[in-house]
Amino acid sequence: MNYEEIMTQLILHGGNARGASYEALDEAEEYHFDKARELMEEANDEFVKGHKYQTQLIQSQDDKAVPSFVMIHAQDHIMTAQAEMQLIKRMIKQLQIIQRLEEKISD
C-alpha cells in the first residue's frame, strides 16, 4: 500500500470512528444504551483499523521523511477520534447515572 492510500485509510477510519461515537452519544441521550454500546464497539473497531494503518505509516518512515500536510491531517483524524471516543464513553456513563436517578425520583 502506498503512502497516499495509507493516509486515505487513516482519514476514513478516523472519520468512521468519530461518526459512530457521536451516533452512540445520540442514542445514549435517548437512553438507548444497548444501541449506544453497539455503536461504541463499531467506533472502536474503526479506530483499531485506523491505528493499524497508523502503525504501517510509522514503520514505513525513515529518518529523512518530511511530514506532509496530508499526513498531519490524517494523523489528526485518528488522534481526534481517539480523544472524542474517550470523552463520549464518559458522557454515556454520566447519562446512565442520570437515567437511574430519574427513575428513582419518579418512583
Active site residues: 73
Q: pTM of the prediction?
A: 0.88
pLDDT tens column, 24-69: 999 999 999 999 999 999 999 999 999 999 888 877 776 666 778 8
Domain count, the chain: 1
Amino acid symbol at 15? G
Q: Find the CATH number of the domain harbouring 26.
A: 1.20.58.80
Q: What is the pLDDT of residue 107?
A: 78
Q: What is the pLDDT of residue 55?
A: 87
Amino acid symbol at 95? L
Cα–Cα dist 11/17, whole Å: 10
Q: Which domain holds residue 45?
A: 3-106
Amino acid symbol at 29? E
For residue 73, give every residue at least 6 positions away whose Cβ sits within 8 Å of its Cβ, in sequence order, or none. 7, 11
